[in-house]
Structure 1
Amino acid sequence: MHNSRLWKMADETVDLFVKTVRLPTTLLEKVSDALENARKRQARSASYQEEPSRPARMKPPETSQT
């Protein structure tokens, strides 16, 4: 009976350890995903900002010619 109690405590300790290790892993995954999404968003916004600026650069020569 004493041994089974020790085994149960050992199993609970292992379960707690696994949960403790898994938590930072999932947090790191979430942070990594958030950073990746932020990079994608920044790249998208940069490409959107470049597209309108190109026609804007082309418009002044057209207006100066007319």
Structure 2
Amino acid sequence: MVTIKARDERMLVLYEEGKSNEVIQVILATEFPKNIITARTVAEKLWKMGKKAHSEGSEAKEGDPSES
């Protein structure tokens, strides 16, 4: 239980650094190999903690279609 709490605390630190769900998942899998979770679970846990998780693809901005 201690490692899960530590993992979740680390998840919040990474979130505050602006990391995406996918990046957070990879870092947590490396640091907590016995408690691996998916990027989707990262998003769900952050949401339950009152945070707005973001995915790497959500950061892309749509350009002006006339520029194509």
TM (norm. structure 1) is: 0.27
The higher radius of gyration belongs to 1
More helix by share: 1
* TM-score between the two structures when normalised by the length of structure 2: 0.27
Between 1 and 2, higher relative CO (CA 8 Å, sep ≥ 6) is seen in 2
